[in-house]
Amino acid sequence: MKGLIIKDIMCLKKQLTTFVYVISGVVVISILYVLSSRFGNLAEVGKTLLDENNNMSEIDVKNLGSMVLIMSMLIPVVSVGDMLNVFIADGKAGFFKVSASLPVSLKKRMLSRFLTIYALFAIGAFVDTILALVLSALTDIMSFGSFLGIIVSSASVLSIYSALMILYCVILGYGREQYAQVFALLTIILAFVIIKFKSVKFVVIHVLGDGVGFDSSTFWKPLDYFREKGYVFLLIAVLVSIVSYCLSLYIAERKRGVI
């Protein structure tokens, strides 16, 4: 099984090379951003927004800054691994034609795919944690605890996406990986809209509307939840991964072990 994990990681060799360059760029840009937001031009922009916009509070300005940092924190985790390329590489190499003849059980072959996800996202989360330590020391926009919550939430959401993508790849078969990616994204979006319908509806109305009756605390509630409830996303990721693994294994067995 260890050999299969190494094989999957080697399929992501180009992404891992890109990951190194991405990390270097994210570290530099993030540090420059927090320094500018504290001492430079971005700090002046924040003061201008408070002076010229009566509907905007200091919390709103901080949350806008948090959104930028969240985007930068997502980049390392996103760039480190995408199981879509593993399935595409296996399909091109015809690996599914010989995989069933390997002296490794179907359960272990399937498990290796899921373990690859968590190994890669653990690397991205570890790098993000180090970056969070540096950024939290340089800015008061977010504490290290908030950074850590974002890291856990981001890695968990991406783990859910990857687990669902593996399931859809097994269901659809080789050559249809792009459809599996779309279905995985749509499943996550649909689930989020259903669970947090009121918050999503409020945000859409006030982004597209005129802002009358704007409630700042409600508008930022999804962000606060993402930042403070990382353990909830982690628990959901574990449950989704278990269900996805069981369903993927069942379907692969029905397909006579083709994976």
Distance (Å, rounded) from C-alpha 106 to C-alpha 249? 8
* Tokens found for residue 25: 């760029």
Q: What are the start-end ranges of the H helices in the chain?
A: 2-11, 13-39, 41-52, 58-80, 83-93, 106-138, 144-172, 177-195, 197-208, 216-219, 221-228, 230-254
Torsion angle, CA of 250/78/132/69, rounded to 10 degrees?
-130
**Structure-model confidence comparison of residues 235 and 9, the more confident one:** 235
pLDDT digit string (tens) for 86-135? 777 776 766 766 666 677 777 887 888 888 878 878 887 888 888 888 87
Do 154 and 72 form a contact (C-beta atoms < 8 A)? no
Token pair in block for residue 126: 């570890």
Mean pLDDT along residues 217-221: 62
Q: What is the mean pLDDT of the chain?
A: 75
Average pLDDT of the residues in 49-58: 63
The token pair at 205 is: 């109305």
Residue 239: what pLDDT? Answer: 92
Q: How far, in Å, CA of 125 to CA of 155, rounded?
A: 7
Are the C-beta atoms of 148 and 130 separated by less than 8 Å? no
Is-contact 115 3, C-beta < 8 A?
Answer: no
pLDDT at 208: 47
